[in-house]
Amino acid sequence: MNLVLMGPPGAGKGTQGEILSKRLGIDTISTGVMLRTAIKEQTEVGKLAEGYINEGKLVPDDVIVKIVKERLAKPDCANGFILDGFPRTTAQAEALTKSGVRIDKVLSLEVDDEKIVERLSSRRECSKCGAPYNVISNKPAQEGKCDKCGGELIQRADDTPETIKNRLNVYHEQTEPIKAYYDKLGLLVTAKGEEKLEDTTANVAKALGLEV
Ligand code: AMP
């Protein structure tokens, strides 16, 4: 399955992506994780992306489209993939269609704005592998440590109240219109993001026609 996960920041795309990745045996490709790694390593792309990310703005389309195309051309993607955080603009969605990469489904995780701010303040991320956690709803086995690699869990630099507001505006203005684009293509399914992780996981499975 070639799947696109979309939804506002903090909807649970990263967490559901991980769960689906294990279940379906395919990799999650998160543009956010790729960009944060590039920033840590201070690559050309990282240096360019840092300012945009810290202000809650989108990185320019041409930069991100190039990175994703290169990643999707790698052999492991032939078995399927889960795109988390891409496409985020209509231009990116059109570029993906034009590139000839087949998309089977686009899952939109739906969460109200009021819930988002609350969720993002309790969100944490592994500083080493990027795995997502939440100190309320998705705790690691050992406090402050990643279950997968033992890395230190940190709060993201762009999970501040001001940046969160910008990111939500950007989502509604630039990303949400993609839903209509994929609906027209007959690919869009939706799932409600709930308080409890397992309820969201069940909604996602149902939306994708998987056994709950
Ligand atoms: P995320 O981890 O998906 O919330 O992404 C964090 C930040 O990375 C976003 O707020 C954007 O600044 C940038 N970013 C990630 N994916 C994209 C994309 N597809 N297009 C433009 N910017 C992106």
Nearest CA to ligand 1 atom 5: 32
Residue 123 is a catalytic residue: yes
36 lines ligand 1 (CB under 6 A): no
Order of strands, sheet of 105-110, starting from the edge strand that comes earlier in the sequence = 27-30, 81-84, 2-6, 105-110, 188-192
What was the pLDDT predicted at 212?
A: 83
Residue 26, φ and ψ in degrees, nearest 5? -130, 160
Predicted local distance difference test score (pLDDT) of residue 118: 85
Kindly report, residue by residue over 171-180, the tens digit of the pLDDT: 999 999 999 9
pLDDT at 63: 97
User: How many CA atoms are closer than 13 Å to the CA of 166, on its beta-carbon side?
Assistant: 13
Ligand 1 geometric centre to CA of 187 (Å)? 22
What span, in angstroms and rounded, lies between the C-alpha atoms of 88 and 110?
Answer: 15
128, 145, 156, 179: the active-site residue: 156
When pLDDT is cut at 50, 70 and 90, the band that residue 147 belongs to is: very high
| CA pair distance 80, 206, nearest whole angstrom | 19
- 167 flagged as catalytic: yes
Q: Ligand 1 pocket: which of 31, 90, 119, 163 to mutate (most atoms <8 Å of CB)?
A: 31
Stretch 108-131: mean pLDDT, rounded?
A: 92
Given a cut of 90, is residue 101 above it in pLDDT?
yes
Q: Is 71 a catalytic residue?
A: no
Tell me if 52 CB under 6 Å of ligand 1: yes
pLDDT at 128: 92
- The pLDDT score that the predictor gives to residue 36 is 93
pLDDT surpassing 90 at residue 94:
yes
pLDDT at residue 32 above 90?
Answer: yes
Q: Where are the beta strands (DSSP E) in 86-176?
A: 105-110, 123-126, 132-134, 153-154
64 lines ligand 1 (CB under 6 A): yes
Q: What is the mean pLDDT of residues 53-62?
A: 95
Lowest mean per-residue pLDDT among 34-38, 109-113, 158-162: 158-162
Q: What's the confidence (pLDDT) of residue 195?
A: 87
What's the pLDDT score for residue 162?
86
Please say if the pLDDT value at position 65 is more than 90. yes
